[in-house]
Chain A
Amino acid sequence: MISIMNTIGIWLAAFFTLCIFSFLYKDNPFYKFAEQVFVGLSAAYWLVYIIYSIMVPNLFAKLATDFSGNIILLIPAALGLMMLMRIHPKMQWISRYPIAIMVGTTAGISMLRYMKSDILQQLTATMINPFAADTPAEIAGNLLMIIGTICGVYFFYFSKKQEGVSKAVSKVGIWFLMVSFGATFGYTVMARISLLIGRLDFLLGDWLHLIK
Chain B
Amino acid sequence: MKLSVLAERRIIYLVLFVAVALPLLFPIGWKTEVSGYTQMVYDLVENTPENEVVIISFDYDPSTMTELQPMGEAMIEHAFKRKQKIIATALWPMGVQMAEQAFDKVLKDYHDKQRGVDYVNLGYKVGGMVTIQAMGRDLKEVFPTDTRNTPYEEIPLLMNVRRLKDIAWVSSLSSGVPGLKEWMMVARDSYNVPVTGGCTAVSAPGFFPYVNEQQQLTGLLGGLKAASEYESLIGRLGSATTKMDAQSIAHLLILIFIALGNIKVFAAKRRKNK
Contacts and interface: CB of A to CB of B under 8 A. Distances in A.
Interface of A: 24-26, 49, 53-54, 58, 109-110, 113-114, 116-117, 121-122, 124-125, 128, 180, 183-184, 187-191, 193-198, 200-201, 204-205, 210-211
From DSSP, what is the main secondary structure of chain B's interface residues? helix
B209 interface: yes
Contact of A189 (B66, B209, B254): B254
Nearest to A202: B66
A122 B200 contact: no
Contacts of A54: 126
Given A25-B10, A196-B20, A117 B225 contact: no
A109 B243 CA distance: 41
A58 B143 CA distance: 12
A91 to B, nearest CB: 27
A188 B251 CA distance: 11
B93 interface: yes
B124 interface: yes
A110 B186 CA distance: 10
Nearest to B244: A197
Contacts, number: 112
Nearest to A189: B254
| Residue among B130, B133, B202 with the highest chain A CB neighbour number at 10 A | B202
Contact of B24 (A113, A180, A197): A197
A180 B209 CA distance: 12
B144 to A, nearest CB: 9
A108 B29 CA distance: 51
Nearest to B206: A184
Given A53-B93, A190-B201, A204 B224 contact: no
Interface stretch (B109-117, B210-218, B260-268): B210-218
B66 A201 contact: yes
From DSSP, what is the main secondary structure of chain A's interface residues? helix
B213 A125 contact: yes
| Residue among B13, B200, B201 with the highest chain A CB neighbour number at 10 A | B201
B250 A193 contact: yes
13 contacts: A114-B185, A116-B189, A117-B189, A117-B216, A121-B216, A122-B209, A187-B201, A187-B204, A190-B251, A193-B20, A193-B254, A197-B224, A211-B25
Interface in B34-88: 63, 65-67
A116 B185 CA distance: 8
Contacts of B251: 189-190, 193
A204 B223 contact: no
B13 A190 contact: no
Contact of B214 (A53, A125, A195): A125
Nearest to B250: A193
B135 interface: no
A188 B254 CA distance: 12
Contacts of A125: 209, 212-214, 216
A72 B16 CA distance: 57
Contacts of A109: 129-130, 133
Contacts of B213: 124-125, 128
A87 to B, nearest CB: 22
B156 interface: no
B168 interface: no
